[in-house]
Structure 1
């Protein structure tokens, strides 16, 4: 056995007829209530039916399934390298690779959504890197459950189904780009992470990204309201449509470690730090839209998604916002404006139940990346 999860176990096995290693999956059903068992088995069978007929390069190959003594068994191709483990070993990949992986995951996500499959448990431990001739291939695991906490438990409550999958995909792009696990500032405190996500808080690792096009793409993935983008729409974004030359050797533009840590400390400790971050992100997104990728010309309209409601650069009094948050109706224009601003970390000051990132970690809210 090489993977054990709450609902299933995965074993390495040998297919003696074909002479190759395969993944032998056992899903435990006997400990569940009858109604839960029925729903679970139907959900798994639905996914497996897709595997049987899939022509997508990003879906696991399927070899067979059966039921046996309170267990549902299915056999797939063996892929043992998760995208997280591969990224951690590389210590950073080029822009060309980040673009290619973003495109591959989006194509797989779009295919699965077109087959009416969602809530796919999208995270870096459920995406697999397959070494083959030429460049590697990203494949989706089944949406059963993750070894730790399922990704959909981190998804904002406003987002369900396909929208939640796109949000989780955005988190994967952050990790691929920065090598940081999103929300690592909470030190795997799942309760605090869920509170932060529910408040609209974004991972502090976004501070690292100094690449306007990539930042715009991630922001489109993480949008909650009013416009939420599908995988099909995101496939039109210039980040994935315009591939980088594979031989360029260019890497994602990230902030220097000292600058990032200094800025993160200011953000966690006072409103001026938040305002500086707010202005910085706003400036980056505006720089993207004022460049060659605006939606003003017909030729650009198929290549990039614009319309992410960038707030104006303005100083916001956090006490005033707290008072408004308590009293405004959820359907009011003021509430809509607050929701938009909360996308830029404003919720850190709105929700008193959410501890600021790093509040329990001493002087530095974010640890340095491992450079070894």
Structure 2
């Protein structure tokens, strides 16, 4: 079955966006800072210690690269600006009654490389395959089944797939990289952790930061990177996505479909907690992209929430329907992301972006727009680096 517009956005991927990090209550719809999970303690590693490789960024790409390098016997430390792993793969464990995805939502395709991470932990998934649609308000709903489903949601949280990648890695959280000095065979990374300066020295670095962060010159490189590389960073297009999650204490769609396509509504509507055990409520995902997302994001959060709620009320046939909780995150305003979604269909400078700088700086992720692509990119960067460094651990 084909649809005139994607059910969950371009390439079937959603990365969550909207007004900062906001949590709304039933009574006040008030905004507040979402809390992340408490990270596990950093195993091993000493500030300023000489390393084989320093990995900048603990998203899927950075962790994948670090895992391969560590398993090959390299001394590796991962530097992460946030207090959690995952980057734009962010499962919030307790903002609602069940874990919710503020970032990447789905595994795409049955042959994605990340399935190995799902299977290794015995995780369960829910296949998004059922759609309700109607062409006019008041018409009966038509339920359809997608013949070849391509969106699979990890029950209990997508971020779980990263656990084996991060296992026993030295990860330095709350550490913001400011400057990277690089010469042949040596890199010095200058960072800040809670107001203190920290330095890491290594033979090489894997840079696994979003391209929007690199394009904004948030990290200084000395000497400066080649102009063709920085020009390629700045030429990468992005587009806006607005994503709001609303929790209700009862079912709100006419049937238990994964998606609802409503007449004349330019947004995606999805049951975001299908398959969650022992959960009788509903979490509705409402999203928009590009021009419609930009319009919504220009509104005050309360008004944006109200627009989405009115649509859900119309579908439910209940004008008094009120959410228990509301949650959203705007990646474009997140200083460690600076954009929600890379428009991979219009990238022209991938070769320049991934070209190593000497034998010192390697690049992973950067412009990938799916978690499995990030995972693959990290593996490829690590393999490329190992070919340069050799398999045995080196001393500076």
Regarding TM over 0.5, the answer is no
Q: Normalised by the size of structure 2, how large is the TM-score? A: 0.21
More helix by share: 1
* Structure with higher RCO (Cα < 8 A, 6+ apart): 2
Q: Normalised by the size of structure 1, how large is the TM-score? A: 0.22
